Structures are given as C-alpha cells and as structure tokens.
Amino acid sequence: MIKVAVNGYNVIGRRVADAVALQSDMQLVGVAKVKPDYKARSAVDKGYRIFAADEKGMKAFKDAGLTCAGTSKDLVSEADIVLDATPEDVGSQNKQMYEALGKKAIFQGGEEHELAGTSFVAQCNYEKALGKKYVRVVSCNTTALCRVLHAMDECFGITKANVVIARRAADPDEGGKGPIDAVVLDPVTIPSHHGPDVNTVLPNFPVISMAMKIPTTHMHLHSLIVSVKGNSVTEDKLRDKLEKTPRVMMVSSKKDGIKSTGNVMDLAREMGRSRNDIFEAVVWKDSLKVIGNEVYLFMAVHQEAIVTPENVDAIRAMMETSDRESSMNATNKTLGIAH
C-alpha cells in the first residue's frame, strides 16, 4: 500500500483525496486543511483524518469540535508521498518541508515547471515520472491540450497548434471573484502561458495560445486550429483517432443534443458522476473540420476534475509500482472513465 498525504483540501485536493481513497493499492493517510469549515466536516464524515496547516490551526479545529490529528508536518511524516494541492505558489514554499522530511511530492499546475523538473500527463509521458522525487501535474487546460494534441501528433504529425481559450472566471465556490458582466483578456499579450506550458510535456511543435476570462464557473472552452504534416488527415481518421484516445470523450450536438458547456455538466449529472466531475477532455465530434492540412475543433475542459486521474497515475509512476497502461486502467476503472 502506498501511503498518500493530501496537503490542501479544496477544489483539487478534495477530488484527489477521494480518488486516492478509491485505489486498492493506496492508503489516504489524511488531509491537511486551513479552516474547520463544512468541507472539513464532510471529510470527517468520510472517515478522513484531518491535519491543520500549523499549531494555531490545530486549535481552530479543536475549538470547532473537530478532531485534528496534528499539523501538516505530522501528516507528511506519515506518508510515502505527498499530493500538494495548495494554492499557486504555496506548493513551492511547502517543498522545503517535503525535502527536509525526505518525501516525494506531486505539485499542481499553478507551480512553475522548474519546481519539480518533470511536468506530467499520464498518456504522454508517464515513463518520465518513473522513480522521480518531484513531479508537477500540469494545469487543467494544459492536460486537455496535451491529451488531444499528443494523439493528433502520433497520427498525423503536428507542425503548429493554435488555441484560443475562453476560461471560466472562477470556480463555483469563489463567490467573490469576477467578472460578472465582461470578457477579460487574460492576458492581453500573446501567447498566454498555456501554449508554452504544453511544451513542457510535448516539446516538438509550437503551441500558440490566447486566453480570455468569461463570466462562468463551470468549464473552459478551447477553439483549436492545428496544422499537420502532409495531406493524410481526414475528418474520419481524426474522429477515429480521438474516439480511441484515452480520457477523451466525444460528444455530438446533432446526435446527443450537447451544444454547450452547460449540457456537458448536465450530462455529468445524468451519468451520476460524483460532484458532476468530467475527468475527460470533451471534444465535439461535429466540430471536427479539415481544410487542407489544417484541423479545427472545439473542446471543453472541466477545470475542477480533469487533473484527478493524472494525480493518481503520477503516484504510481513515482513509486514505480505500475506501468502506464496498468495504472491508467486501474485509475479509469475506479473513477468510471470508459477508456
């Protein structure tokens, strides 16, 4: 059993903790949290041990009537590996603690590639993480782009990828964040960080990205224009490849009536997915278009959920307990991902 600690328990941390708890080869040692709020109570109800960020935090948990098993340092000491799901730039501060305690750690996409030295998307570069001490699971947008672009590159050879990303402005529990009624260029300058971030996993072709924030909380929407080598690409071949690509879900506006990110979230509810999570990159079948050697498509990304399976696979790769296929299959099975 691999003993796993989850440090930071909100959007990403809650999901990876639940996913770890589902794995037959892993034991969730506990979760570290700052506030004794309803999320902490629900963790206790699930039987998770709660740890506070520091001694002061322990008192806050005790005052709130919640059993606190210690500080995050105590939690990390008990684990073989830490999943750090603290906010952007906090992970880099935590690295000193992991290093001092001699523990392996997985960081998230809000941290810089250099913090870990290995950026990870299971189906693209699982083997690069084998035995590593530190790995960074890339962001939600980067994960989706890597899955789809890697598949296209394998099949047709990419020369250049352009992507325009309409980003959800805030996660559903971030009531204080805007914009409420504006589209914010994020950033105005080009490229946004997403394209270069894809190159930390797939370095062999340029990815130029532009991004904006839109007033929604559920899902990003990507518009892709990808140039490929030669003239072998056709819409049928592309659809065939993406249908077989792991962790990519094809939907159709014509057949399924899925025309919006709202429909995709509703589909997750109909599927009975916990927290309405869509772990797959969602590609619209009827958006696939080939003009000459250029491929066009629309893709939606559930920002809260898509990196969950990658975090689980990164654990097995770093602990060297499984090969890529076995790990991805085990993770998919427990999370209800079809392939």
Least distance to ligand NAD, CB of residue 80, Å: 19
146 is catalytic: no
Please name the helix (run of DSSP H) or strand (run of DSSP E) that holds residue 79, with its range, or none.
none
Least distance to ligand NAD, CB of residue 96, Å: 12
Q: Which two tokens stand for residue 305?
A: 């959920």
Three-state secondary structure along 209-255? Answer: EEEEEECCCCCEEEEEEEEECCCCCCHHHHHHHHHHCCCEEEECHHH
In angstroms, the CA 11 to CA 5 distance is 16
Least distance to ligand NAD, CB of residue 10, Å: 3
Least distance to ligand NAD, CB of residue 108, Å: 3
In the set 124, 140, 146, 155, the catalytic residue is: 140
Count Cβ atoms within 10 A of the Cβ of residue 29 and give its class: 0-12 exposed, 13-18 middle, 19 or more buried. Answer: buried
Report whether 165 contacts 220 (CB < 8 A). Answer: yes
Dihedral Cα 105, 23, 336, 281, nearest 10 deg: 10
Going by C-beta distance under 8 Å and a sequence separation of 6 or more, which residues neighbour residue 188? none
Binding residues (CB under 6 A) for ligand NAD: these are 7-13, 32-34, 53, 72, 85-88, 90, 108-111, 139-140, 171, 303-304, 307
172 forms bridges with which residues in the sheet? none
**Which of these, 335, 325, 330, lies nearest to 305 by C-alpha position?**
335
Least distance to ligand NAD, CB of residue 14, Å: 8
Least distance to ligand NAD, CB of residue 179, Å: 17
Report whether 56 contacts 64 (CB < 8 A). Answer: no
| Residue closest to ligand NAD, measured at CB | 110
Per 3-state DSSP, what percentage of the chain is helix, strand, and coil (rounded to 5)?
40, 25, 35
139 vs 332, beta carbon nearer ligand NAD? 139
First to last CA, the chain: 25
Residues with catalytic roles: 140
